[in-house]
Amino acid sequence: MAVSFLARDVSDLCLGKPPLRSLSASVTVAEALAVLKSSGESSVSVWICDHSQVGRCECVGKLCMVDVICYLCKEENLLSPSSALNAPLSAILPKVPGLVVHLESSSSLLEAIDLILQGAQNLVVPILPTKRSGISRRKQLQKASTINSHNGLEFCWLTQEDVIRFLLGSIGLFSPLPALSIDALGIISSDVLAIDYFSPASSAVGAISKSLTQQTSVAIVDTDGTFIGEISPFTLACCEETVAAAITTLSAGDLMAYIDCGGPPEDLVRVVKARLKEKNLEKMLEEFTILSSLTGEASASSSSSSDEETSTRTLTRAGRYARSSSYSARMVRKAEAIVCHPKSSLVAVMIQAIAHRVNYLWVIEDDCSLVGIVTFSNMLKVFREHLETI
């Protein structure tokens, strides 16, 4: 029964998914950043299309704000962020092959799982038109920029979360696997990206970039190995590009507080400005100060409103949509790390991860010592191995 379930087409997982917002790989980083900010989404797809040949359109990457932030954190780019933003987009895309893979809508779920286990983080699947949506789709295509349609087709992302959510819907087919602990299943990975609480956040830039590629996160620990929190690319993806200034000047622990969804504390904003000045990073300081000033004006305007309005705006700032010197108006994630215990069952961990919209959970003991990390990829490997025994 489970085998026939996994033979289902991936198109079943794509029903109702929105079409990808796209941009050309030939644009500059600044142009891509503008599209990303105006899209209201956490990422956009990057395409190479040769319109002189039919069918030569390929999605080559997925761009989010974390890519821009890590790019701006490079020493040469800190000196002149404006010049760095005028570089071609190719300078910023991950060089790891196979992260984005095209998959036909008629492909099986088993094929999708195999690609993910081979390293694909995002699968690009054509959206099949339906009789009911055919007319509305054509109208959307007429209104939309042609870059959002490729050879007359629209595409969507098929992610690890989509596959896990689909498996969870029929989890009983895999009994008794879901009831076993993640420790017993051997899917806790001790190979984690971690940084000491007091270490410079700048020393974690490489780890942040790697965690984005792996769809994990960077753990923050103390000298005894106690888990304190994380620097999550899922949280950074909701920030403005000027968070690069905070990464350059703050410790890992302070950065964790800075990117919290409530917005950065004013004392940390002052620290960032002072340290940028000490480092002679005038251009970065200028960019950072402009956004901080805009935030200050917005806060002043908000404080002059009625108690009822103030209450509402406070809720908005800490809730789904926020804007500060670190946050954009895109969806905001809680900076709080999601954890589980080694004895947690597989199904409990799946539910917990999906509920919090993360691709991983940190595994800690009762004394908060870090054991490792469990990822969607680890979980899919167990399901795949289970099928081989049927």
With bands split at pLDDT 50, 70 and 90, how would you rate the model's confidence at 136?
very low
Q: pLDDT digit string (tens) for 140-169?
A: 444 444 346 566 788 999 999 999 999 998
Check if the beta carbon of residue 221 is closer than 8 Å to that of residue 196: yes
Alpha-carbon gap, residue 390 to 388, rounded angstroms: 6
Give me the percent of the chain exceeding a pLDDT of 90.
56
User: Residue 80: what pLDDT?
Assistant: 87
State the DSSP H helix or E strand holding residue 361, giving kind and residue range, or none if neither: strand 360-364
Residue 361 predicted with pLDDT over 90: yes
C-alpha dihedral, 21 to 27 to 29 to 33, nearest 10°: -30
What 3-state class would DSSP assign to 166? Answer: helix
Q: pLDDT digit string (tens) for 87-111?
A: 999 889 888 888 999 999 999 999 9
Alpha-carbon gap, residue 372 to 352, rounded angstroms: 16
With bands split at pLDDT 50, 70 and 90, how would you rate the model's confidence at 42?
confident
What 3-state class would DSSP assign to 260? Answer: coil
Tokens 């997982």 correspond to 13
Check if the beta carbon of residue 39 is closer than 8 Å to that of residue 61: no
